[in-house]
């Protein structure tokens, strides 16, 4: 794999493991596997899937932090993620305050990492 791509992915991983969602989930994973509704295998699968989701979101966030406001097509080119999946992630991150609509770049709306 290309060096810059790996660097970008590792930055994304750092974002993901900084997210409240992942941190709370990992902290609670023993409880989920033992006391919750899921079997240990189901718990591991669920947490891994959420982790993958947050890795994609972490990638979006780190791209926005490094490169300023970006449109969905720009993000798609940089991350390789399909545009509709990007839209869903962006809407989710708008809901929890990590991302905001910055304005327009030409005909497209651009998103930026929200200031905390």
Partner 1 sequence: MAKKDKFEPLIVAFCCNWCSYAGADLAGTSRFEYPTNVRIIRVMCSGRVDPIFVLEAFRLGADGVLLTGCHPGDCHYIDGNLKAEMRARYIRACLEEVGLEPERFRLEWVSASEGVRFAELIKEFTETIKRLGPSPLRRREHGGE
Partner 2 sequence: MEPAVLVLGGGIAGIQAALDVAEQNVHVYLVERSPSIGGHMAMLDKTFPTLDCSLCILTPKMVDVARHPNVELLTYSEVIDVRRANPGFKVKVLKRARYVDESKCTGCGICTEHCPIEAPDEFNMGLSPRRAIYIPFPQAVPKVAVIDYERCIRCGLCQLACEAGAIDFKQKDQELELHVGAIIVATGFRQVDVSALSEYGYGRFPNVITALELERLLNAAGPTAGELLRPSDGKAPKRIAFIQCVGSRDVRLNRPYCSRVCCMYAVKNAILIREHHPEADVAIYFIDIRAYGKGFEEFVQRAEGEFGIKLVRGRVARLEEDPSTGDLWLAAEDVSSGKVVMERYDLVVLSAGLVPPEGSEALAKLLGLSTDGYGFFSGPNLKLNPVLAQDGIFICGCAAGPKDIPDSVAEASAAAMEAVNYLREVGLL
Q: Interface with partner 1 by CB under 8 A: which residues?
A: 1-3, 5-7, 9-14, 16-18, 26, 29-30, 44, 47-48, 51-52, 55
Q: Please state the closest distance from residue 107 (CB atom) to partner 1, in A.
A: 33
Q: Are 75 and 86 in contact (CB under 8 A)?
A: yes
Q: Please state the closest distance from residue 36 (CB atom) to partner 2, in A.
A: 4
Burial grade of 62 (CB within 10 A; 0-12, 13-18, 19 or more): buried
Q: Are 71 and 77 in contact (CB under 8 A)?
A: no
Footprint of partner 2 on 42-81 (CB under 8 A) = 43, 46, 50, 71-73
Nearer CB in complex with partner 2: 18/84: 84
Q: Strands of the chain (E only): list them.
A: 70-71, 99-105, 108-113
With CB under 8 A, what is the number of residues at the site for partner 2?
32
108 binds, among partner 2, partner 1, none (CB under 5 to 8 A by kind): partner 2
């Amino acid at each position: 794999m290309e060096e810059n791509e790996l660097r970008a992915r590792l930055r994304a991983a750092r974002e993901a493991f900084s997210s409240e969602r992942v941190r709370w989930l990992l902290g609670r994973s023993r409880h989920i596997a033992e006391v919750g509704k899921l079997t240990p295998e189901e718990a591991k699968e669920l947490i891994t899937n959420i982790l993958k989701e947050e890795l994609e979101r972490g990638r979006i966030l780190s791209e926005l932090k490094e490169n300023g406001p970006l449109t969905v097509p720009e993000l798609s080119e940089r991350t390789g993620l399909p545009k509709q999946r990007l839209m869903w992630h962006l809407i989710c991150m708008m809901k929890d305050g990590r991302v905001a609509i910055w304005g327009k770049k030409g005909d497209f709306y651009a998103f930026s990492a929200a200031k905390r």
